[in-house]
């Protein structure tokens, strides 16, 4: 796990060093910077900050040179690099034990198609000196970030926005801001700035250093079946296949030359990962959050699970002051406005676990792949409701208003429920009428709506859509929360083989059978941990931002979320209406912390990063 940077623009050495220094928290073990001549008037600079995980020797430092023809910067892990060496590269003499060198050898053998053989989380760029091109890729599910700026003057890329931003002047992206107000996060490929984009999950690119041509290709998507899986003939067959894939996924992700641990919240996904990890190694420690407020503390449940699995566990104290310290600096690592304040405890638990381990396994991805969110239940009910003709539902408007007010009318009387689903945003929060934009109009403008239009998929299409959208938000959160303290998070449930196979499973394999949500994962887990230990209402952590904004941070929040700032920085928001909602929140009349936090985060980001920009 590392941070990568590169450019064809001609910055001075001090500026280049600063750009790398800005992301050094991602890789504190080594910093590398090299400049190459591509043509008589084009040079390529590659930079890298390394967090050493595999082959700790300096020979694997980057930028890495391979056979005089290739130079690479690479962030992430190729989990199956050993298998690739055995299967395809038996005739190659390697000088390191790193997966970086395997990427180069595979590229030399298969060209840009090499990415299709990689099982991992990655973002890399190769400078091919023979072809005079830069070629890069991002992993299939977008676990590793990749930002880039393409202009008439050249090409620049980085693991984080801040490196590209430094020393340059960009324009605020008004459309991305509207997406943010709707979603609580800016969807790929957008960023807060017009000129900077994100390479999307499952994409690769080529930049020609001679012609300056830039080409993006989608090498994988959520309906790709590169493994050639057939739909299961029975539930038992599906369960056995998922079990085998999980075991192999975790086996691959336990390989490291540094200490490894696991996150354990006490929920289904992290418990399943820990249960399988314990079959490989009983000595790996689990880490769980322990909160002062017992109403959402689940550390006792996590400790009970760990005891049953006979694995060690450490409780990471998440006190109010410790959480507040994280809150004060989160924008230094996030680079973008982000409206999910669960990033704060995630970062704190990672920080505490980092005292012992450098790599940690987590349960991310289970909810998106295996229908773990409650919204899928009410979405299915809505889809049944939408089988009734549009005219009939419009005629029933008085009934819907009686049943649930304007919100119910909106949800029940649109032409397509897919539009409603998109308009709810990733975190399903409302702005209580403070928005000065049409939610449905902005929803239709967002990327990836076509995944919801697949009528053959039915309710399954909504999971497909969340894989393309909400999963990116989750990936951003866990990447920043762990890289903030130079820790590598690995997510076994997000192995692309599991993702591909999950798309073939019918809804009843995911939900039902007396087990409810995530049926198939629970079925596997309950073979290892008694059902009664895990079946309980999930408490869910609510960070104390609500209390902070009403107490310690009251003045800061009101200063940032002032009428002047809202009007100038967020013209899509009715400042007067928002201030009334803000003040009623402060008095305790409403608890819409999502809306308050989203507005606060964008304005604070603006002053932190973009106040000098247009």
Q: What would the pLDDT profile of 210-231 be if each residue is shown by its tens digit?
A: 999 999 999 999 999 999 999 9
Identify the pLDDT of residue 338.
Answer: 92
CB proximity list for 424: less than 8 A, separation 6 or greater: none
**Choice among 15-24, 125-134, 418-427, 531-540 with the minimum mean pLDDT:** 531-540
442-466: average pLDDT: 90
Q: Which residues of 573-608 are buried (b: 16+ CB within 10 A; e: fewer)?
A: bbbebbbebbeebbeeeeebbbbbbbbbbbbbbbee
Neighbouring-strand partners of residue 65: 71
Residue 513's region, left for phi above 0, alpha for psi from -120 to 50, else beta, is left
SS3 string, 456-507, reads HHCCHHHHHHHHHCHHHHHHHHHHHHHHCCCCEEECHHHCHHHHHHHCCCCH
Identify the pLDDT of residue 541.
Answer: 56
Assess contact for 507 and 460: CB atoms under 8 A.
yes
Q: Which sign does the torsion angle of CA 413, 417, 423, 428 carry?
A: positive
Identify the pLDDT of residue 341.
Answer: 84
Active site residues: 2
Which DSSP category does 193 fall into? B
Confidence category of residue 614, pLDDT binned at 50, 70, 90? very low
User: Is a pLDDT exceeding 70 seen at residue 611?
Assistant: no
Closest by CA position to 66, among listed 23, 123, 127, 21: 127
Identify the pLDDT of residue 514.
Answer: 84
**Choice among 67-81, 297-311, 325-339, 423-437 with the minimum mean pLDDT:** 423-437
Specify the pTM.
Answer: 0.96
What percent of the chain lies above the pLDDT cut of 70? 98
Which residues of the chain does CATH 3.40.50.620 include?
235-368+468-532
348: part of which helix (H) or strand (E)?
helix 343-353
Which residues of the chain does CATH 3.60.20.10 include?
2-218
pLDDT tens for each residue of 243-288: 999 999 999 999 999 999 999 988 899 999 999 999 999 899 999 9
pLDDT tens for each residue of 393-438: 999 999 999 999 988 999 999 999 999 999 887 776 778 889 999 9
287 token code pair = 């880490």
User: Is a pLDDT exceeding 90 seen at residue 298?
Assistant: no
User: Is a pLDDT exceeding 90 seen at residue 542?
Assistant: no
CA 171 to chain centroid: 25
User: Is a pLDDT exceeding 80 seen at residue 488?
Assistant: yes
Q: Which CATH number fits domain 2-218: 3.40.50.2000, 3.40.50.300, 1.10.1040.10, 3.60.20.10?
A: 3.60.20.10
457-473: average pLDDT: 90
CATH architecture of 235-368+468-532: 3-Layer(aba) Sandwich (3.40)
77-96: average pLDDT: 96
Assess contact for 65 and 49: CB atoms under 8 A.
no
What percent of the chain lies above the pLDDT cut of 90? 80
Closest by CA position to 194, among listed 610, 607, 528: 610
Using CA atoms, how far apart are residues 566 and 568, in angstroms rounded to an integer? 6
């Amino acid at each position: 796990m590392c941070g990568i940077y590169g450019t064809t623009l001609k910055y001075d050495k001090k500026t280049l060093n600063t750009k790398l220094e800005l992301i050094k928290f991602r890789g504190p073990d080594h910093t590398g910077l090299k400049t190459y001549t591509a043509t008589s008037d084009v040079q390529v600079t590659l930079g890298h900050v390394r967090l050493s995980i595999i082959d700790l020797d300096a020979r694997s430092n980057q930028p890495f040179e391979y056979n005089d023809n290739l130079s690479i910067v690479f962030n992430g892990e190729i989990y199956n690099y050993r298998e690739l060496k055995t299967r395809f590269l038996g005739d190659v003499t390697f000088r390191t034990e790193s997966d970086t060198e395997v990427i180069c050898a595979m590229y030399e053998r298969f060209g840009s198609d090499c990415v299709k053989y990689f099982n991992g989380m990655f973002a890399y760029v190769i400078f091919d000196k023979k072809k005079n091109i830069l070629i890069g890729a991002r992993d299939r599910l977008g676990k590793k970030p990749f930002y880039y700026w393409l202009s008439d003057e050249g090409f620049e890329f980085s693991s984080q926005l801040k490196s590209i931003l430094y020393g340059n002047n960009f324009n605020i992206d008004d459309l991305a801001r509207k997406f943010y107000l709707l979603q609580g996060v800016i969807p790929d490929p957008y960023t807060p700035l017009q000129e900077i984009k994100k390479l999307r999950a499952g994409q690769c690119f080529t930049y020609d250093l001679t012609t300056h041509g830039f080409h993006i290709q989608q090498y994988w998507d959520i309906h790709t079946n590169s493994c050639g899986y057939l739909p299961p003939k029975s539930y038992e067959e599906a369960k056995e296949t998922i079990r085998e894939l999980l075991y192999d996924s975790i086996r691959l992700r336990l390989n490291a030359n540094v200490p490894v641990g696991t996150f354990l919240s006490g929920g289904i996904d992290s418990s399943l990962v820990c249960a399988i990890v314990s079959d490989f190694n009983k000595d790996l420690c689990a880490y769980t959050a322990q909160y002062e407020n017992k109403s959402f503390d689940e550390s006792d449940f996590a400790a009970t699970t760990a005891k049953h699995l006979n694995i060690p566990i450490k409780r990471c104290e998440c006190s109010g002051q410790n959480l507040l310290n994280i809150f004060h600096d989160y924008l230094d690592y996030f680079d973008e406005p982000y409206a999910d304040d669960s990033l704060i405890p995630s970062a704190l638990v990672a920080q505490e676990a980092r005292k012992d381990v450098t790599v940690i396994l987590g349960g991310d991805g289970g909810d998106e792949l295996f229908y773990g969110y409650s919204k899928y239940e009410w979405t299915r009910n809505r889809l049944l409701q939408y089988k009734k003709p549009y005219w009939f539902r419009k005629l029933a408007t008085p009934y819907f208003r009686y049943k649930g007010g304007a919100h119910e009318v909106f949800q029940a009387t649109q032409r397509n429920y897919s539009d409603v689903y998109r308009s709810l945003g990733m975190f399903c929060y409302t702005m209580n009428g403070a928005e000065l934009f049409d939610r449905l109009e902005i929803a239709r403008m967002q990327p990836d709506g076509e995944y919801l239009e697949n009528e053959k998929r039915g309710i399954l299409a909504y999971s497909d859509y969340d894989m393309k959208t909400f999963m990116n938000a989750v990936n951003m959160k866990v990447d920043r929360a762990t890289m903030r303290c130079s820790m590598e998070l690995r997510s076994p449930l997000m192995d692309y083989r599991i993702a591909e196979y999950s798309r073939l499973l019918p809804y009843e394999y995911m939900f039902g059978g007396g087990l409810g949500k995530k049926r198939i994962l629970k079925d596997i887990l309950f073979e290892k941990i008694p059902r009664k230990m895990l079946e309980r209402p999930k408490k869910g952590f609510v960070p104390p931002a609500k209390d902070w904004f009403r107490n310690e941070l009251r003045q800061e929040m009101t200063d940032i979320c002032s009428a002047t700032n809202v009007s100038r920085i967020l013209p899509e928001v009715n400042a007067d209406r928002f201030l009334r909602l803000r003040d009623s929140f402060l008095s305790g009349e409403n608890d819409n912390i999502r809306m308050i936090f989203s507005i606060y985060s964008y304005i604070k980001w603006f002053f932190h990063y973009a106040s000098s920009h247009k």
